[in-house]
């Protein structure tokens, strides 16, 4: 499966090394957020990888929501419990919640559906910086600190009209918003899920942008150019 190179499973425990997590972010998501670099002091496993592993474990339900409750570090053992009911809590070795999932409606474990949704959603999600976030920061005249960027996945939910598709799925932005609160902001990325040219689902990704400061076009542009250079060199 698509996810096989990006985790290790031993009995009931899943671990993700910093190298596996970083490679997933860069290769599958085109996400070069420094927080996913193995040598980052604030390293964490990408939320998109946790989301993808949840779909592998529990399938795709018509309605699903994901709340990322704690950061996951290098090779931290994770417990994905057996699915019982609509609410699932993924925990770390200390028993702390790291991902809380709510699902309802019919569920599919069709591998083609799982991989198509994972591939296309994480590519959309990885567009956040600079494509989606830069215009919002300029509009609101705020930005994160380029020396200590803090852009964190907070939650995501989606609803599907059906669990079958006839064309390759793709995910497109429907609307984006930034709500600024003093030193932080909440970014909302509304998206549609397409089967060919037909919308079969919709959802929203929420991102927290921390350490806000006044917008400085030159410094954030330089940061974005370096970010894109790293992506192009990968």
pLDDT in tens, 183-204: 999 999 999 999 999 999 999 9
Provide DSSP, 85-103.
SSEEEEEETTS-EEEEEEE
Q: Decide if pLDDT at 216 tops 90.
A: yes
Label residue 11 by pLDDT band (50, 70, 90).
Answer: confident
What span, in angstroms and rounded, lies between the C-alpha atoms of 198 and 26? 29
Host domain of residue 114: 4-233
pLDDT value of position 83? 81
CATH number at residue 132: 2.40.160
The pTM score is 0.94
Do 17 and 36 meet the contact criterion of CB atoms below 8 Å apart?
A: no
Query: Looking at the 3D structure of the chain, how many domains does it have?
Result: 1
- pLDDT one-digit tens code per residue, 73-89: 999 999 999 887 899 99
Q: Decide if pLDDT at 215 tops 90.
A: yes
| Residues whose CB is less than 8 angstroms from the CB of residue 120 and which lie 6 or more positions away in sequence, other chains included | 168, 169, 170, 171, 193
C-alpha 181, offset from chain centre: 22
Please name the residue ranges forming H helices in 15-107: 18-28, 47-58
Label residue 168 by pLDDT band (50, 70, 90).
Answer: confident
Q: What percent of the chain has pLDDT over 90?
A: 90
Q: Please, what is the Cα angle at 133 between 51 and 22, to 5 degrees?
A: 40
Q: What's the rounded mean pLDDT across residues 24-51?
A: 94
- pLDDT one-digit tens code per residue, 41-62: 889 999 999 999 999 999 999 9
Which of these, 151, 144, 189, 121, lies nearest to 42 by C-alpha position?
151
Is 195 strand, coil or helix?
Answer: strand
What span, in angstroms and rounded, lies between the C-alpha atoms of 173 and 185? 19
pLDDT value of position 85? 83
pLDDT value of position 1? 78
pLDDT value of position 103? 97
For the chain, give the mean pLDDT.
95
Do 151 and 142 meet the contact criterion of CB atoms below 8 Å apart?
A: no
């Amino acid at each position: 499966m698509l996810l096989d190179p990006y985790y290790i499973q031993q009995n009931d425990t899943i671990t993700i090394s910093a190298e596996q997590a970083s490679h997933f972010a860069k290769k599958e998501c085109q996400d070069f957020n420094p927080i996913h670099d193995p040598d980052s002091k604030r390293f964490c496993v990408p939320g998109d990888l946790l989301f993808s592993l949840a779909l592998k474990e529990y399938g795709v339900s018509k309605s699903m929501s994901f709340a990322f409750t704690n950061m996951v570090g290098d090779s931290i053992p994770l417990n994905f419990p057996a699915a019982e009911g609509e609410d699932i809590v993924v925990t770390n070795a200390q028993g702390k919640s790291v991902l809380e999932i709510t699902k309802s409606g019919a569920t599919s474990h069709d591998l083609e559906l799982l991989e198509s949704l994972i591939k296309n959603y994480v590519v959309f999600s990885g567009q956040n910086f600079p494509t989606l976030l830069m215009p919002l920061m300029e509009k609101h005249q705020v930005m994160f600190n380029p020396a200590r960027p803090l852009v964190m996945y907070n939650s995501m939910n989606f609803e599907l009209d059906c669990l079958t598709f006839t064309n390759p799925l793709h995910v497109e932005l429907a609307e984006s918003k930034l709500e600024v609160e003093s030193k932080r902001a909440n970014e909302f990325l509304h998206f549609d899920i397409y089967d060919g040219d037909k919308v079969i689902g919709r959802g929203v990704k929420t991102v927290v942008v921390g350490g806000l400061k006044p917008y400085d076009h030159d410094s954030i542009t330089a940061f974005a150019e370096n970010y894109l250079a790293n992506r192009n060199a990968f």
